[in-house]
C-alpha cells in the first residue's frame, strides 16, 4: 500500500485543520507485502525520489520488518515506513540515555573515586591508625583509556605522609551498593561476553581483564605474561599453557576460585604475542589486585589483615580523591564505541539510587517527545530485546531535545561519519561531521538514527530493521546515508538550537 498526499490535502493542512489526517491510499501489487512510504509534508522531489528508490532496493536485500522516519529540522515527518510502530532499537537507545543523563547531570558533571578514612596518622611511623575504605561510584573510566587511576589515589596518600595501611579492602559507594551484577533484563546467553560485563558501582577497567602472552624461549617452556590490564592482575593469573613448535595458537582462559584465572593450551614458538580479553567474573578481586599494585608503586605498605572492618566509617574524612573527565567527554566516548557498560553507568549515575532507572529514562523520552505509546525502555544500553521505540519517537526526540534543558549541542555527542561505530561511513561525504548518528546492532536488529546535514537543512533520520538479514540491512542503511549525504554539509556546533528545532510533535497518522 502506498500513501500519497494530494495537492488538495496539502492545502487542507496549510489551512490549519487540527491533527494530521489519515492519508489517501491506493493498492499496488508490487508493495502488497510491505508498508508503504507515508509522505506527510512536501520535500524536494529529488530527496523523495531518492528515498523511494532506496527503499525498493533495501526491502529486496533485507526482507523483514522495517520502520523508517525521515523528518525535517522542525521534526515534521516527510517520509516514513511504519513510523509509529515500536520496534527493537538495540544500541540506538544510548542516544536517549545520553540525553536523559545530560539533562539531569549537566555537561560538566564528574564522577569521583575516593579513599575515605576514620582515624589519624602516626607521624612517626607513617601508619594510618584507624579504618579506611575505597569509595567506588561507578566511574566508567577508572583504570581505562584516558580515565582516572588508582595510582593517583595512592600518590595522594603518600603526599599525606601515609606509608602504611592495615586492614582488608572495604568498599563503599555514595549511591547504592558497592558491587556489580549482571542486569536481569539482559539475555543470560550474553553473560560473560565482552560486550556484556557485570554492571554496578564497582567498576574497574570496564570490568574486563586483558592478558598478553608470548611463547617461551624454547619448546616445552611455559608461556610468558608480557602484558596486563589493569596493572597488578598478574597475581591472579596462573599460566599452564606451553610453548610448542610452529605458529599456531590454541589458548584458553578458565576461571578459578576467588577471581583467579588459568591460561591453558599451547602457543607456537614462532608465533607473536597473543592478547586475551575476558569479562571479569569477580571485579572485587580485580580491584584489590590493582589497588595493591598502586600502593606498592607509591611505596605504601599494605597489610590486609583480617578482623578489621570499615563498612561503617563514622566521621569519615576524604583522604584522597580522583575525578573523571566531564560528562560530555565520557558520553562522547561511550557513544563512539557503543559501550554497553558505559551507557548503563550513565543511567545509574543520573538516576541516583533509584531502583528502576529505566522507568525514569522512559518518562524522560515521553516528556520530551509527547509520545507515550512509542517508547518503553528496560535498560540504558539497548542490549535487551525487551526495549521498544518507534522511528517517529526517535525523530521527535532528535528535533526537540536540543532545545530542552541539557540539550545544547547534543548532536556533537554522537559519532561523526568516519569515526567510531560510523567508521564505515568514511567515504562519499564532503567532510567529517555531515552525519552525527548512533548505530544499533543485535542478532536480529540493525538500526541507525541521527542527524544528516544538507544545504537546505538538517534531516532527522531513523532507520530501524528487525529481521534475519541484519548485514544486508546495515549495508542498505549505509548506502542511504551516503546517497543523501553526498551533497551534504558539516553540521556545526550551535546549529541545532531553540531557533531551529523543537517544532511539531504531533505523531503521524
Residue 290's pLDDT is what? 97
Phi, psi of 114 (to 5 degrees): -135, 160
Helices 391-400 & 93-105, crossing angle to 10 degrees?
Answer: 30
Mean pLDDT of 311-322: 82
Instruction: Pick 354 or 127 by higher pLDDT.
Output: 127
Q: Quick check: 307 pLDDT over 50?
A: no
Residue 315's pLDDT is what? 75
pLDDT digit string (tens) for 51-96?
Answer: 999 999 999 999 999 999 999 999 999 999 999 999 999 999 999 9
Instruction: Pick 471 or 312 by higher pLDDT.
Output: 471
For cell 569519615, the residue is: 316
The distance of Cα 417 from the centroid of its chain, to the nearest Å, equals: 17
pLDDT digit string (tens) for 454-494?
Answer: 998 999 999 999 999 999 999 999 999 999 999 899 998 86
Query: Which DSSP letter does residue 398 get?
Result: H
Q: Quick check: 16 pLDDT over 70?
A: no
Mean pLDDT of 213-239: 96
CB 208, CB 192: distance < 8 Å: no
The alpha-carbon radius of gyration of the chain (Å, integer) is: 27
Please spell the DSSP secondary structure of 182-242, one letter per residue.
Answer: --TTS-GGGTTSTTS--BSS--SGGGEEEEEEE--SSTTPBPEEEEEESTTGGGGEEE--E
Q: Quick check: 44 pLDDT over 60?
A: no
Contacts of 285 (CB under 8 A, 6+ apart): 236, 258, 259, 260
Strands (DSSP E) found in 230-329: 237-239, 242-244, 249-256, 260-268, 274-279, 301-303, 317-323
Helix (H) or strand (E) holding 12: helix 7-14
Read off the pLDDT band of 434 (50, 70, 90): very high
Residue 9's pLDDT is what? 27
Read off the pLDDT band of 183 (50, 70, 90): very high
Residue 3's pLDDT is what? 36
Domain 2-106+328-485: CATH architecture, name and number where available: 3-Layer(aba) Sandwich (3.40)
Read off the pLDDT band of 353 (50, 70, 90): confident
β-pairing verdict for 128-135 and 112-121: antiparallel
Contacts of 190 (CB under 8 A, 6+ apart): 196, 383
Number of DSSP helices (H) and strands (E) in the chain, helices first: 10, 22
Mean pLDDT of 5-31: 30
The distance of Cα 79 from the centroid of its chain, to the nearest Å, equals: 29
Q: How far is CA 105 from CA 281, 360, 405, in A?
A: 30, 14, 11
pLDDT digit string (tens) for 356-366?
Answer: 999 999 999 99
Mean pLDDT of 152-167: 97
Residue 233's pLDDT is what? 95
pLDDT digit string (tens) for 122-132?
Answer: 999 999 999 99
In the 3-class helix/strand/coil scheme, how is 331-391 assigned residue by residue? HHHHHHHCCHHHHHHHHHHHHCCCCCHHHHHHHHHHHHHCCCCCEECCCCCCCCCCCEECH
For cell 600518590, the residue is: 155
State if pTM tops 0.85: yes
Fold match between domain 2-106+328-485 and domain 112-182+283-325: no
CB 248, CB 232: distance < 8 Å: no
Choose the weakest-confidence range: 26-30, 249-253, 443-447: 26-30
Closest CA to 196 of 209, 210, 182, 179: 182
Fold of 112-182+283-325: 3.50.80
Longest dimension (CA), the chain: 91
pLDDT digit string (tens) for 94-136?
Answer: 999 999 999 999 999 999 999 999 999 999 999 999 999 999 9
Q: Quick check: 6 pLDDT over 70?
A: no
Q: What are the extents of the domains in the chain?
A: 2-106+328-485, 112-182+283-325, 205-279
Amino acid at each position: 500500500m502506498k500513501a500519497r498526499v494530494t495537492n488538495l490535502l496539502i492545502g487542507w493542512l496549510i489551512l490549519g485543520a487540527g491533527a494530521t489526517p489519515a492519508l489517501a491510499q491506493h493498492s499496488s501489487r508490487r508493495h502488497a507485502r510491505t508498508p508503504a512510504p507515508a509522505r506527510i509534508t512536501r520535500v524536494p522531489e529529488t530527496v523523495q525520489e531518492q528515498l523511494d528508490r532506496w527503499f525498493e532496493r533495501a526491502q529486496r536485500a533485507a526482507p523483514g520488518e522495517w520502520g523508517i522516519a525521515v523528518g525535517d529540522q522542525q521534526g515534521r515527518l516527510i517520509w516514513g515506513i511504519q513510523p509509529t510502530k515500536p520496534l527493537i532499537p538495540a544500541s540506538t537507545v544510548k542516544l536517549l540515555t545520553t540525553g536523559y543523563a545530560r539533562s539531569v547531570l549537566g555537561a560538566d558533571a564528574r564522577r569521583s573515586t575516593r579513599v575515605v578514612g576514620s582515624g589519624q596518622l602516626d607521624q612517626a611511623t607513617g601508619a594510618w591508625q584507624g579504618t579506611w575504605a575505597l569509595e567506588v561510584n561507578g566511574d566508567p573510566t577508572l583504570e581505562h583509556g584516558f580515565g582516572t587511576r588508582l595510582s593517583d589515589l595512592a600518590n595522594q596518600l603518600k603526599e599525606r605522609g601515609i606509608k602504611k595501611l592495615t586492614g582488608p579492602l572495604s568498599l563503599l559507594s555514595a549511591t547504592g551498593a558497592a558491587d556489580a551484577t549482571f542486569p536481569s533484563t539482559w539475555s543470560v546467553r550474553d553473560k560473560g561476553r565482552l560486550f556484556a560485563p557485570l554492571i554496578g558501582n564497582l567498576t574497574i577497567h570496564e570490568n574486563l581483564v586483558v592478558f598478553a602472552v608470548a611463547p617461551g624461549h624454547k619448546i616445552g617452556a611455559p608461556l610468558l605474561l608480557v602484558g596486563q590490564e589493569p596493572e597488578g592482575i598478574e597475581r591472579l593469573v596462573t599460566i599452564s599453557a606451553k610453548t610448542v613448535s610452529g605458529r599456531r595458537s590454541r589458548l584458553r582462559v578458565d576461571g578459578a576460585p576467588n577471581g583467579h584465572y588459568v591460561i591453558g593450551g599451547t602457543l607456537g614458538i614462532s608465533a607473536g604475542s597473543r592478547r586475551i580479553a575476558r569479562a571479569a567474573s569477580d571485579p572485587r578481586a580485580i580491584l584489590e589486585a590493582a589497588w595493591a599494585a598502586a600502593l606498592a608503586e607509591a611505596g605504601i605498605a599494605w597489610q590486609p589483615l583480617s578482623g578489621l572492618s570499615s563498612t561503617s566509617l563514622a566521621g569519615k574524612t576524604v583522604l584522597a580523591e580522583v575525578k573523571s573527565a566531564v560528562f560530555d567527554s565520557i558520553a562522547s566516548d561511550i557513544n563512539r564505541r557503543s559501550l554497553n557498560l558505559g551507557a548503563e553507568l550513565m543511567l545509574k549515575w543520573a538516576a541516583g539510587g533509584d531502583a528502576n532507572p529505566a522507568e525514569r529514562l522512559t518518562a524522560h523520552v515521553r516528556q520530551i517527545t509527547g509520545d507515550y505509546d512509542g517508547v518503553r525502555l528496560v535498560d540504558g544500553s539497548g542490549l535487551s530485546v525487551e526495549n521498544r521505540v518507534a522511528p517517529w519517537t526517535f525523530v521527535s526526540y532528535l528535533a526537540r531535545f536540543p532545545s530542552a534543558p541539557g540539550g545544547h549541542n547534543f548532536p556533537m555527542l554522537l559519532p561523526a561519519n568516519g569515526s567510531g561505530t560510523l567508521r564505515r561511513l568514511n567515504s562519499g561525504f564532503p567532510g567529517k561531521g555531515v552525519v552525527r548518528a548512533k548505530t544499533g546492532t543485535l542478532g536480529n536488529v540493525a538500526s541507525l538514527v541521527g542527524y544528516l546535514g544538507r544545504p537546505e537543512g538538517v534531516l532527522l533520520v531513523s532507520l530501524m530493521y528487525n529481521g534475519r538479514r541484519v548485514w544486508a540491512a546495515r549495508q542498505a542503511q549505509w548506502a542511504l546515508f551516503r546517497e543523501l549525504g553526498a551533497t551534504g554539509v558539516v553540521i556545526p556546533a550551535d546549529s541545532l538550537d531553540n531557533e531551529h528545532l523543537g517544532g511539531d510533535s504531533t505523531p503521524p497518522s
